[in-house]
């Protein structure tokens, strides 16, 4: 459908207060705006915002209605706590949005998409509407993306801080993990299955040591696991109490979201804060060890969501002195329903490995009906041939001819300097999105600074770059880097990331340096653990069993599946580099 064939939306801007609520229809009619009936008689979407002059942040409410004046009056009269700050301030604005093709389903989708984009806006500190409205098919669904684009462009012209460029927002980790991302049919079916399990589990009166219902959500990198969990988290938080009332349970609904990955923890904490999910529970997002220590088995939470459960510890270590021998089993004792996202191909440490027998026992504990497989590849925007090339390289050590893909850029660089220059070029173009360099963990790194250099470095010949979150951010910069994921910090374009900085995140273009642990011998890609500096992966379990080959292949899997639009590769091993260059010809 052509963009020009759809008319521009109507946006009426006004102050938001009691007086406005009483005369809104009259004010719109007399404003001189074209087609005022589209705002008075048609369904509309509205955005209410108030700036915090102290920190230049906004509190925002997004809604939709079939009667804008009545809805405004209802909000003004409401005693809800989240409305007090809006209706009692003098500098509150409201944008009323209309379009000649608006119907109920389309306005609900526009409302939902506004929530998704505003959740990724740095200037928005609090965002509210307390519901999730994703629609399926309807009459004007094909017009939705075009109409939203026109709405956002018009809002952007009115307030560039509150409505920045879409490209800028789409690069943020918050946007990508937002609960307002539209779910695929596969994700929707999984969500319905999980909600049915939650509903059934709330009927159970579990005893002190009785285990809760375990639901495993398995899927490869980029299959949409994080978005599904984020969506469920938001939906259950807002509607959990309604579920409990249906079961005649008057106790408040209790939900926790756990994540072990430091960078992902930042993202979920920001989502909880921005969407006011931590308003009554500051520990709603927490680390697994904290959950185990704080929650007692006789005071179970209703739902415990574990993102990236493959990072949970399976043996006691300095970080985990649990009551059992595995973090997941300790968590299962403390919740009525446990939703665990698991990808065996992203286990990276010896202390997180489940043996084949142990994993079979885990799946048996969940039961076949409680294991959900997400099979769609949603991260890599490439042809099936390109995805197969990447998977063959990782899984089978086979290097096939690199396919000609109009959508995806898979390139081989004969030296790291050229690859760095290309990644910098992509990163400097804001329309291209986030682009960074990463490498296999084949170079030494320690929290203590090296004696002979300023930073630990990835080095080949005369070329080198620092790596693993060593570079200081720019002093005097107003950006709060503590809340940003590694790739979102602008100075990290000058260093190289590892699996420990990039796991769970997207990059539009990723440059991967395959260190000396990845070789090419006798026609196959092989892994040489003796060349790896990743002690967490190559150390033996109980001083006996080594999982190094498996874990280093998982490391390779994480790095090569980060790029949404492009993957650039350079190999240190000369035979591997030659084989990759031959694959281009």
The answer, yes or no, to whether residue 240 has pLDDT greater than 90, is no
Q: What is the pLDDT of residues 449-506, one digit of tens each?
A: 888 888 999 999 999 999 988 888 776 565 677 778 888 888 999 999 999 889 888 8
Rounded CA gap, 430 and 534, in Å? 33
Percent of residues in the chain assigned helix, strand, coil, to nearest 5? 40, 20, 40
* 352 alpha carbon, distance to own chain's centre: 22
Q: What percent of the chain has pLDDT over 90?
A: 58
Q: What is the pTM of this model?
A: 0.87
What's the pLDDT score for residue 347?
Answer: 84
Region 570-576: mean pLDDT is 98
* Tokens linked to 222: 């980029």
The answer, yes or no, to whether residue 393 has pLDDT greater than 60, is yes
Region 412-431: mean pLDDT is 93
What's the pLDDT score for residue 512?
Answer: 98
What's the pLDDT score for residue 318?
Answer: 52
What's the pLDDT score for residue 128?
Answer: 87
**Concatenated DSSP letters for 138-178?**
-TTGGGHHHHHHHHHHHHHHH-TTTS--HHHHHTSHHHHT-
The answer, yes or no, to whether residue 389 has pLDDT greater than 60, is yes
The answer, yes or no, to whether residue 438 has pLDDT greater than 90, is yes
Out of 3.40.190.80, 3.40.640.10, 3.40.50.300, 3.30.413.10, the CATH code matching 185-374 is 3.40.50.300
Residues 6+ apart with CB under 8 A from 292: 322, 323, 327, 330, 331, 334
Given pLDDT bands bounded at 50, 70 and 90, which one contains residue 405?
very high
The answer, yes or no, to whether residue 519 has pLDDT greater than 90, is yes
**Average pLDDT of the chain to the nearest whole number:** 89
Q: What angle do CA 183, 186, 190 make, to 5 degrees?
A: 90
Given pLDDT bands bounded at 50, 70 and 90, which one contains residue 403?
very high
Q: Which residue has the higher pLDDT, 139 or 371?
A: 371
Region 379-405: mean pLDDT is 95
Rounded CA gap, 218 and 193, in Å? 14
Q: What percent of the chain has pLDDT over 70?
A: 94
Q: What is the pLDDT of residues 241-294, one digit of tens each?
A: 888 888 778 888 999 999 988 888 989 999 999 998 988 889 999 999 999 999
Q: What is the pLDDT of residues 58-108, one digit of tens each?
A: 999 999 999 999 999 998 888 776 677 677 778 899 999 999 999 999 999
Rounded CA gap, 41 and 319, in Å? 60
Region 344-356: mean pLDDT is 83
The answer, yes or no, to whether residue 432 has pLDDT greater than 80, is no
What's the pLDDT score for residue 292?
Answer: 92
Q: What is the pLDDT of residues 191-238, one digit of tens each?
A: 999 999 888 888 776 666 778 899 999 988 888 898 999 999 999 998
Q: Which residue has the higher pLDDT, 353 or 334?
A: 334
What's the pLDDT score for residue 82?
Answer: 65
Question: Token pair 């796991």 is at which residue?
Answer: 503
* Domain definitions of the chain by residue range: 3-170, 185-374, 384-584
Largest CA distance in the chain: 81
Q: Which residue has the higher pLDDT, 358 or 34?
A: 34
Instruction: Assess contact for 555 and 439: CB atoms under 8 A.
Output: no
The answer, yes or no, to whether residue 581 has pLDDT greater than 60, is yes
The answer, yes or no, to whether residue 44 has pLDDT greater than 90, is yes
The answer, yes or no, to whether residue 116 has pLDDT greater than 70, is yes
Given pLDDT bands bounded at 50, 70 and 90, which one contains residue 317?
low
């Amino acid at each position: 459908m052509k963009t020009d064939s759809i008319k521009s939306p109507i946006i009426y801007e006004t102050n938001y207060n009691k007086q406005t609520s009483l005369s809104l229809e009259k004010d719109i009619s007399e404003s001189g705006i074209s087609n005022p009936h589209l705002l008075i008689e048609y369904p509309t979407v509205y955005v209410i915002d108030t700036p915090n002059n102290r920190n230049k942040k906004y509190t925002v409410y997004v809604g939709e209605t079939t009667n804008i004046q009545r809805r405004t009056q209802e909000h003004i009269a409401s005693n809800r706590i989240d409305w007090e700050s809006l209706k009692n301030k003098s500098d509150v604005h409201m944008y009323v949005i209309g379009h000649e093709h608006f119907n109920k389903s389309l306005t609900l989708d526009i409302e939902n998409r506004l929530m998704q984009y505003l959740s990724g806006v740095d200037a928005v500190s609090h965002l509210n509407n307390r519901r999730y409205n994703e629609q399926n098919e309807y009459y004007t669904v094909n017009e939705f993306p075009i109409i939203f684009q026109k709405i956002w462009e018009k809002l952007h012209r009115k307030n560039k801080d509150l409505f920045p460029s879409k490209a800028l927002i789409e690069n943020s980790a918050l946007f990508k993990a937002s609960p307002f991302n539209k779910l695929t049919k596969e994700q929707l079916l999984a969500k319905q299955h999980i909600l049915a399990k939650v509903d059934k589990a709330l009927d159970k009166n579990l005893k002190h040591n009785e285990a809760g219902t375990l639901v495993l959500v398995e899927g490869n990198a980029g299959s949409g696991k994080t978005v599904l969990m984020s969506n469920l988290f938001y939906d259950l938080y807002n509607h959990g109490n309604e579920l409990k009332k249906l079961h005649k349970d008057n106790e408040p609904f209790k939900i926790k979201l756990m994540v072990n990955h430091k960078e992902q923890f930042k993202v979920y904490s920001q989502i909880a804060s921005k969407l006011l999910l931590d308003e009554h529970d500051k520990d709603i997002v927490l680390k697994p060890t904290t959950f185990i220590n704080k929650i007692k088995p006789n005071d179970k939470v209703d739902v415990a969501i574990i993102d990236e459960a493959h990072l949970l510890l399976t043996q006691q270590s300095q970080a985990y002195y649990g009551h059992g021998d595995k973090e997941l089993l300790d968590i299962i004792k403390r919740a009525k329903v446990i939703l665990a996202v698991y990808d065996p191909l992203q286990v990276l440490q010896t202390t997180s490995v489940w043996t084949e027998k142990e994993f079979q026992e885990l799946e048996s504990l969940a039961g076949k009906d409680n294991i959900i497989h997400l099979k769609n590849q949603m991260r890599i925007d490439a042809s099936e041939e390109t995805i197969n090339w990447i998977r063959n390289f990782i899984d089978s050590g086979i290097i096939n001819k690199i396919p000609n893909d109009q959508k995806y850029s898979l390139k081989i660089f004969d030296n790291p300097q050229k690859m760095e220059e290309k990644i910098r070029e992509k990163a400097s173009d804001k329309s291209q999105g986030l682009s960074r360099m990463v490498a296999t963990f084949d170079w030494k790194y320690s929290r203590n600074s090296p004696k002979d250099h300023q930073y630990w470095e990835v080095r080949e010949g005369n070329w080198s770059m620092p790596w693993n979150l060593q570079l200081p951010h720019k002093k005097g910069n107003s950006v709060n880097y503590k809340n940003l994921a590694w790739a979102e910090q602008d100075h990290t374009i000058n260093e190289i990331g590892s699996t420990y900085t990039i796991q769970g995140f997207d990059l539009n273009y990723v440059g991967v340096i395959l260190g000396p642990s990845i070789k090419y011998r006798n026609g196959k890609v092989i892994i040489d653990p003796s060349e790896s500096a990743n002690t967490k992966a190559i150390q033996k379990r109980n001083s006996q069993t080594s999982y190094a080959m498996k874990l280093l292949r998982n490391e390779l899997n994480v790095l090569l599946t980060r790029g949404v639009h492009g993957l650039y590769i350079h190999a240190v091993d000369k035979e591997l580099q030659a084989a990759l260059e031959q694959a281009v010809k």
